[in-house]
Structure 1
């Protein structure tokens, strides 16, 4: 398949539907990265956390929808990204659904969703990014988890400690 040059980036020339989905995907993905970080580091229950968390989830739905379109058009090249995107969406929805029932499940689900989102980005784009292009392929699959998992576990530990203090 041939490629087109868009602002110096080589994009698969897979037709106008693919290109439109890609543009929406990039915008939604950037929104998710920014809003997910703001929600994750905001005080839980605050207006900021709720607002940015909802924007993250809606952005994630757009990322998944556009990724599904692109994967359907180029399945052989993108099937693995469909799997990663499915993990991101399912864990995000699980986390959102448990926002009132279980703070631990909420935190774990939303955190895992964010890690999966970044994993998909780096697996697809890492080989083309400065500095990242020097890393082996396995790094794109593992580094987001190696950074994200300790942050998630630390947040869970703090949440449990706060819950124990509140009981006594």
Structure 2
């Protein structure tokens, strides 16, 4: 049952992350989808911790992936809520970092079942989202640095 809840929260995260990323960066859709994304990430985090403790010998790595990935989510979320200095930069990097973590977890678990990706060595599932996602996150974060994008009205 916990695994099903974990999977449901994970699917919500992956879908709503795309919606939040594609929405205009202002109050409204972006913040609404972002709030639900964060709430579902909390669900993923809690269920991942429970699952990893229950089956530590088999999936201890899940504990560390969850902790690392959610740390990005809470970092990005708090940057947006607390409006730190240069908050947009921190918000984007944190939220995209958390999304990279979610995609990594997905690939580690089902990558060998996906066409084309199943031809890669399993170790690639751990690194491919980071290899692709970090440059994208850096480009997007630089685009929205303070003063460079006026329509970012959260």
The TM tier, using the shorter chain, reads: 0.7 to 0.9
Counterpart of 1:140?
Answer: 125
Counterpart of 2:147?
Answer: 163
> Which residue among 59, 81, 96 is the counterpart of 2:62?
81
Counterpart of 2:114?
Answer: 129
Q: In 1, Cα distance between the equivalents of 2:61 and 2:148?
A: 41
Change beyond 3 A, Cα 1:163–1:76: same
Give the structure with higher Rg (CA).
1
With CA pairs under 8 Å and 6+ residues apart, which has the higher RCO, 1 or 2? 2
Compute the RMSD of aligned alpha carbons. 1.6
Q: Number of residues paired by the alignment?
A: 146
Counterpart of 1:46?
Answer: 27
- State the TM-score, normalizing by the size of structure 2: 0.88
- State the TM-score, normalizing by the size of structure 1: 0.81
Structure 2 unmatched runs, 5+? none
Counterpart of 2:136?
Answer: 151
